[in-house]
Amino acid sequence: MTGIILFRAQPFHNGHLAQIKRAYEDICKIGSNLYIFVGSADKFGTKRNPIPIDVRLDLIKGSLADTFEYKAALNRIRIIPLNDLSDEANNTHSWGEYLYNRMCEYTGDTDFIFYYSDKPEIALSWFDSTAISHIYFRFLPRVENLCATSVRISLARLDPLDRIALETDLPPYVYSKIDELHNYIVSAR
């Protein structure tokens, strides 16, 4: 059974990092692997998806390297870019089938622990009954008052108070890149 996390990381923040740490602890207990799917890999330059996938992947890898035993975890954690199937708001079974097939393709497994932080009915709505029979859903609560939308708002303004808030909300590696991230966000359409 392989662990799966899915997020866009627009940008990667401490809430994502906390979820990865908790999922990693789980999968280590069962001797498995954790796959981090970074969604909307084919989208960037928009208000909702301002940051290109190569930058997002770097933010995740740099943050993992800075914050816990990444070298020991390297053989257990994989980071996979995942294009959208269609419109990002498509939460139909076709999206779930696409996601499940990518999970099987990249992991070589058919049974998964799917870590999520949204309402359970959202994650459950993606998959048909066949896929659901192969997925154990594990809720990971969000870090209170932290979401990528509010982080993007702070990165767009980047005034002194925003810099203080971002130092709390972002892993140190991501914080070191706030000027670059600011440029992506203010130039998004």
Angle at 124 between CA 87 and CA 133, to 5 degrees: 120
Does the CA dihedral 34-40-41-46 come out positive or negative? negative
Q: What is the pLDDT of residue 189?
A: 79
Helix, strand, coil % over all residues of the chain, rounded to 5 = 50, 15, 35
Q: What is the pLDDT of residue 95?
A: 87
104-126 residue pLDDT tens? 999 999 999 999 988 888 888 88
Residue 137 has pLDDT above 70, yes or no: yes
Q: What is the pLDDT of residue 71?
A: 63
With b for 16 or more beta-carbon neighbours within 10 A and e for fewer, the 108-131 pattern comes to: ebeebbbbbbeeeeebeebbeeeb
Instruction: Quickly count: other Cβ atoms within 10 Å of residue 64's Cβ.
Output: 24
> Cα separations (Å) of 26 from 2, 23, 29, 74, 164?
10, 5, 5, 16, 32
Tokens in use for 28?
A: 């280590």
**Burial class, 97, CB count within 10 angstroms (exposed 0-12 / middle 13-18 / buried 19+):** middle
pTM for this one?
0.93
Rg (CA), the chain: 16
3-state secondary structure of 126: helix
User: Which residues are CB-neighbours of 177 under 8 A, at least 6 positions away?
Assistant: 59
Instruction: Quickly count: other Cβ atoms within 10 Å of residue 48's Cβ.
Output: 13
Residue 161 has pLDDT above 70, yes or no: yes
